[in-house]
A and B are shown apart, each in its own frame.
Chain A
Amino acid sequence: MTDTPALSLNVPQPACRPGDTPDFSSIDVPAAGSVRRPPVDEQPDAMRDLAFTIIRVLDDEGNAVGDWADSLTDEEVARGLRDMMTLRIFDNRMMTAQRQGKTSFYMQHLGEEAVSCAFQRALSKGDMNFPTYRQAGLLIASDYPLETMMCQVFSNEADPLHGRQLPVMYSSKEHGFFTISGNLATQYIQAVGWSMASAIKGDTKIATSWIGDGSTSESDFHAALVFASTYAAPVVLNVVNNQWAISTFQGLARGGSHTFAARGHGFGIPSLRVDGNDYLAVHAAAKWATERARRNLGPTLIEHVTYRAGGHSTSDDPSAYRPKAESEAWPLGDPIDRIKTYLINKGLWSDDRHKQAEAEITDMVIECQKRAEAIGTLNSGHAPSPRDMFEDVYAEMPAHLVRQRHEVGY
């Protein structure tokens, strides 16, 4: 006999489910400008507090305040707005195209546009992103041709990946965008390896890696932190905490940890938590972390606190697992609206100009789409040749693949 009570299992649950009133009271949102900006060479132990707060630059009135402000010129901020608008409009068009059966699948960025668009602007040519599937903003902000992205989404003859990859799993060495894997988190340790290689060669390039909150449960995440910490790799490790891994809320991956950023502390890695819906804050954090990497000061972990306003993918219906109005209750707002207000406050933008820009970008995206669709979509037009299916398995096609290719008739 024992007098200890029976054990029970703890299964974390989100604050609310469909039908409930959205509740983000557990997210402590500090005032914009209230978080200090330490020097990049400050000792990790001295800046542990940055993993338990949220770095914010844009206040509720749309003004940039505090130590982390002013990392960008007005022109660059305007460019940032345009990048985010382009991504949102691109997403809209591709979501519709998926519903029209022109592609099998699509994943949109709604609400998360600032994370990838702002980060890319802190990188230099030659740096390499190891992204996951919701960072197309890295491509758009580096001027990758939209038409080529669409050809990949449509898996047509002009798809640079020859119809072999899922839509949205882009690849561009030239634009510093590593080929995306569907297996989660694999790219995290690869980014560390790539940055180690850059250090081994005495190069100046750095790597960044990207992971969602849910995927931080994968072993690859932990292996990446060990390697990055051990070898002081010149890498920026990004965790995009958009609150949801399909239907699984972020508390399941986070477990007993206070924040995802705090995970870095066990490895002695400086860790920031940043407002992922604040273009200026993301850029400032990215600039700080990339400077650390470039100055051989080692890795930085950044948790981007954001919210996935759309579904996980075109195959997902979020109303089945969270309140419909939850995205509107998100306390960090919409990244496009916030930067728009900032620019209007500075007299650099207006509602009319915004509407005009929306129309211009929409026209441009539609033009690209027309050209891409003229080549083909998944189910019509010019498809990649089945011959391509056998290429690139190896540098040189071995005899058994040549035989199989012949059997298909090529």
Chain B
Amino acid sequence: MTQMTMIGAIQNAHDLAMERDENVVVFGEDVGYFGGVFRCTAGLQQKYGASRCFDAPISELGIVGAGVGMAAYGLKPVVEVQFADYMYPAYDQIVSEAARLRYRSGGEFTCPMVVRMPTGGGIWGGQTHSQSPEALFTHVSGLKTVIPSNPQDAKGLLLSAIADPDPVIFLEPKRLYNGPFDGYHDRPVQPWKKHPMGEVDPGYYEIPLGKAAVAREGQDMTIVTYGTMVHVAMAAVEATGINAEVIDLRTLIPLDTETVMTSVQKTGRCIVLHEATLTSGFGAELAAQVQAECFYHLEAPVLRVAGWDTPYPHAQEWAYFPGPDRVGRNMKNLMEA
């Protein structure tokens, strides 16, 4: 095992995928010569040449749309949208095109593309560099949506996403990019170089899409979450002493309902937790499914803890971001309910 940050793990996944399959091409704004503003594609152009890893004009629509055409040709494009917040101009190409090529062509044309986007807040990015748009993708038939919570998963899930025959939205929590996160977002961010994020297998491996991880086993309640919030949940467990089971979904679609339901049926209580705004968030889907499947096992209503229904505020981001305190308060309430 090697110590890697999530950025290193993602870069390593690109490298291995490009080495393994010459049809993998990587492009997006700044991803070529410079290696991406977050450095996730560093060194790829030097190693694989400019026709396999290149910079693109600042046109998210163009990047995703060209990717759809390349995928239809038979390549495996892995494209980067610099921030998930910039995805909106490309949304039609993702939703109406990438997601539906297989369906509308009776299986003749397919779109094995990966669209990578840094997602979420916690880096003082304001409302244009902090959004969590996963629910906009999970609502779309034909897309798979992945959000890793650690470097080992990020690498294995990205390699699975690249190998997948369908379009995959790969959301990378940028709060976790550069180093460890203890869940307490209001503490100073540690310089990442001194804090390698985690152990990563240096070889090629895939973590299957649609398989959740139990981040922590527990008996008192189940916290269903993903991405950055896995770490917040763990911190809240530590702070409250409540013996919660923490489920890290890793993939939102396809959803590993079995792991979620088995856990909730065991614990009888459930919090769904995400950073995205509360209303119509993916938590609503999770809560609905849990109440439908586990109603007779529940000791209390399913609780949702999420970002507030406001745009992501710059100066108040620590009040916006669901932290261990907010999650802990809800855990205590749920135990008393």
Which residue numbers of A lie inside 8 Å of B, CB to CB?
A: 128, 130, 160-162, 164-165, 169, 171-173, 178-179, 181, 183, 186, 188-201, 207, 219-220, 223-224, 226-227, 230, 391-395, 398-400
Q: Among A183, A188, A197, point to the contact of B70 (Cβ < 8 A).
A: A197
Q: Assuming A183-B92, A197-B69, A223-B65, is B104 touching A398 (CB within 8 A)?
A: no
B69–A191 CB distance below 8 A: yes
15 contacts between A and B (CB under 8 A): A160-B106, A183-B96, A186-B97, A189-B66, A190-B66, A193-B67, A193-B70, A194-B72, A197-B74, A200-B75, A201-B23, A201-B73, A223-B61, A224-B62, A400-B255
Q: Does B166 belong to the interface (CB within 8 Å)?
A: yes
Query: A155 CA to B308 CA in the complex, in Å?
Result: 46
- B82-122 interface code vs A (CB 8 A; 1 in, 0 out): 00000001001100110011111111111000000000000
- B119-144 interface code vs A (CB 8 A; 1 in, 0 out): 00000000000000000000001101
Query: A196 CA to B254 CA in the complex, in Å?
Result: 31
A227–B106 CB distance below 8 A: no
Query: A197 CA to B69 CA in the complex, in Å?
Result: 8
Q: Does B52 belong to the interface (CB within 8 Å)?
A: yes
Q: Does B57 belong to the interface (CB within 8 Å)?
A: yes
A189–B72 CB distance below 8 A: no
Query: A161 CA to B106 CA in the complex, in Å?
Result: 4
Q: List residues of chain A with CB within 8 A of the CB of B166.
A: 394-395
Query: A227 CA to B77 CA in the complex, in Å?
Result: 15
* B269 CB, min distance to chain A CBs, angstroms: 24
Q: Among B62, B96, B107, point to the contact of A227 (Cβ < 8 A).
A: B62
Q: Does B46 belong to the interface (CB within 8 Å)?
A: no
Query: A128 CA to B72 CA in the complex, in Å?
Result: 10
CB-based nearest A residue for B107: A392
CB-based nearest B residue for A219: B61
Q: Among A164, A198, A220, point to the contact of B106 (Cβ < 8 A).
A: A164
Q: Among A171, A183, A220, point to the contact of B109 (Cβ < 8 A).
A: A171
A193–B106 CB distance below 8 A: no
* Most A C-beta atoms less than 10 A away, residue of B57, B72, B92: B72
- B41-53 interface code vs A (CB 8 A; 1 in, 0 out): 0000000000110
Query: A201 CA to B21 CA in the complex, in Å?
Result: 13
Query: A279 CA to B242 CA in the complex, in Å?
Result: 78
* Most B C-beta atoms less than 10 A away, residue of A193, A201, A392: A193
Q: What's the A-B contact tally at a CB cutoff of 8 Å?
A: 142
B69–A181 CB distance below 8 A: no
A393–B255 CB distance below 8 A: no
Q: Does B59 belong to the interface (CB within 8 Å)?
A: yes
Query: A207 CA to B62 CA in the complex, in Å?
Result: 16
Query: A400 CA to B138 CA in the complex, in Å?
Result: 13
Q: Among A160, A162, A172, A194, point to the contact of B73 (Cβ < 8 A).
A: A194
Extra contacts, 5 of them, besides A190-B97, A197-B25 (Cβ < 8 A), are: A189-B66, A193-B77, A220-B61, A395-B166, A398-B210
Q: List residues of chain B with CB within 8 A of the CB of A207.
A: 69
Q: List residues of chain A with CB within 8 A of the CB of B97.
A: 181, 183, 186, 190
B254–A398 CB distance below 8 A: yes
A165–B68 CB distance below 8 A: no
Query: A398 CA to B69 CA in the complex, in Å?
Result: 25
Q: Does B165 belong to the interface (CB within 8 Å)?
A: yes
B62–A400 CB distance below 8 A: no
* A378 CB, min distance to chain B CBs, angstroms: 17
CB-based nearest A residue for B54: A231
Q: Assuming A196-B69, A394-B166, A400-B255, is B93 touching A189 (CB within 8 A)?
A: yes
A395–B69 CB distance below 8 A: no
Q: List residues of chain B with CB within 8 A of the CB of A183.
A: 92, 96-97
B66–A161 CB distance below 8 A: no
Give the interface size bracket for B toward A.
35 or more
A193–B68 CB distance below 8 A: yes
Q: List residues of chain B with CB within 8 A of the CB of A189.
A: 61-62, 65-66, 68-69, 93
B103–A190 CB distance below 8 A: no
Q: Among A161, A226, A395, A399, point to the contact of B59 (Cβ < 8 A).
A: A226
Query: A172 CA to B104 CA in the complex, in Å?
Result: 11
Q: List residues of chain A with CB within 8 A of the CB of B104.
A: 161, 164-165, 169, 171, 179, 181
A161–B105 CB distance below 8 A: yes
Q: Assuming A178-B109, A186-B96, is B103 touching A196 (CB within 8 A)?
A: no
B66–A193 CB distance below 8 A: yes
Q: Assuming A223-B62, A393-B102, is B69 touching A193 (CB within 8 A)?
A: yes
B106–A226 CB distance below 8 A: no
B106–A392 CB distance below 8 A: yes
Q: Does B240 belong to the interface (CB within 8 Å)?
A: no
Q: Does B11 belong to the interface (CB within 8 Å)?
A: no
CB-based nearest B residue for A170: B105
Q: List residues of chain A with CB within 8 A of the CB of B160.
A: none
* B186 CB, min distance to chain A CBs, angstroms: 38
Query: A81 CA to B134 CA in the complex, in Å?
Result: 53
- Interface residues in B129-178 by Cβ distance below 8 A to A read 141-142, 144, 164-166
CB-based nearest A residue for B113: A193
Q: Assuming A189-B62, A394-B142, is B103 touching A230 (CB within 8 A)?
A: no
Q: Does B330 belong to the interface (CB within 8 Å)?
A: no
Query: A117 CA to B210 CA in the complex, in Å?
Result: 47
B69–A219 CB distance below 8 A: no
Q: Does B3 belong to the interface (CB within 8 Å)?
A: no
CB-based nearest A residue for B62: A223
Q: List residues of chain B with CB within 8 A of the CB of A195.
A: 69
CB-based nearest A residue for B166: A394
Q: Among A130, A171, A193, point to the contact of B105 (Cβ < 8 A).
A: A171
* A179 CB, min distance to chain B CBs, angstroms: 4
Q: List residues of chain A with CB within 8 A of the CB of B254.
A: 398-400
A190–B102 CB distance below 8 A: no
B141–A393 CB distance below 8 A: yes
Q: Assuming A165-B104, A189-B62, A219-B89, is B165 touching A395 (CB within 8 A)?
A: yes
* A82 CB, min distance to chain B CBs, angstroms: 27
Q: Assuming A173-B109, A219-B89, is B255 touching A190 (CB within 8 A)?
A: no
A226–B75 CB distance below 8 A: no
Q: Does B265 belong to the interface (CB within 8 Å)?
A: no
CB-based nearest B residue for A171: B105
Q: Does B291 belong to the interface (CB within 8 Å)?
A: no
Query: A191 CA to B70 CA in the complex, in Å?
Result: 8
